Amino acid sequence: MQFENLTTNSNGIALKGRTRASMQRRKTQSLGLSAAELRTLRALRTPARIQRFIDALAYQYADTAWSPRHVLRERKGHCLEGALLAAAALRVNGHPPLVMDLESVHDDDHVVALYRERGLWGGIAKSNFAGLRFRPPVYRTLRELAVSYFAHYYNLRGEYTLRAYSRPVNLARLDRCHWMTAEEDVWCVAEALIAARHYPLAPDKVTRFLPRLDRRSFEAGMHGWVRH
């Protein structure tokens, strides 16, 4: 949704300079974030800045679903938690909080926070694999975006494991779960991603016969990999 720079109040008097960003900031006051949390997230004004911030978080192996508040406090997280933090930062900076599930076989699923610029899609993600993180906004469709992760999505046996992608999940619909601020795990987000409609990237008769990743590409994708 776009906001005009010139609006009127309830008395019909013109109010200049009320930009989309300023109206969004007023809206975020009801999200339960503290002033310090808002300052941190608002400072991440671009998708690239958000990606750098979540890249700097320590990667953790844990069966958790921390809220952005929890992640900000602990300064660590895995892919779901990084995507939630990215979605929260996008939200307070004027974007809808959208996430997408990448579904795999013989591997973990991956979660990507989505953003759109000039009608094109990009992605922000926390990952232990170098190629499963940021995507610039150059993809016309979500399928194109999902396919861009395929060659980088493999398990420790070198098998290509990405099989499907989901429709976007708008986390604003889960505000009742307090996904941005809850102290307990926000499994409601994971459940919504699992329940979302998924679209296969290729038919089974193709994916059953995929070759394994070559050693050079395997090692490149493992750059910066954090062991258990």
Query: Above pLDDT 90, what percent of the chain?
Result: 84
CA angle 178/125/131 to nearest 5° reads 165
- Tokens found for residue 65: 């679903």
Q: Do 152 and 174 contact (CB within 8 A), yes or no? A: no
pLDDT in tens, 25-70: 555 455 899 999 999 999 999 999 999 999 999 999 999 999 999 9
Q: Do 72 and 169 contact (CB within 8 A), yes or no? A: no
Q: Do 33 and 44 contact (CB within 8 A), yes or no? A: no
The architecture of the domain spanning 20-221 is Roll (3.10)
For 175-189, what is the mean pLDDT? 98
Domain boundaries, the chain: 20-221
Q: Beta strand pairing status for 58-59 and 76-77?
A: parallel
Q: For 128, list phi and psi in degrees, rounded to 5.
A: -85, -5
Q: What are the residue ranges of helices labelled H in the chain?
A: 20-28, 35-42, 47-55, 68-74, 79-92, 142-147, 187-195, 204-207, 215-221
CA distance 119 to 40: 27
CA distance 161 to 172: 30
pLDDT in tens, 71-94: 999 999 999 999 999 999 999 999
For 210-223, what is the mean pLDDT? 96
pTM higher than the cut 0.75: yes
For 113-126, what is the mean pLDDT? 98
Query: Tokens 């307090």 label which residue?
Result: 178
Q: Is residue 12 scored above 70 in pLDDT?
A: no
CA distance 146 to 140: 11
pLDDT of residue 20: 56
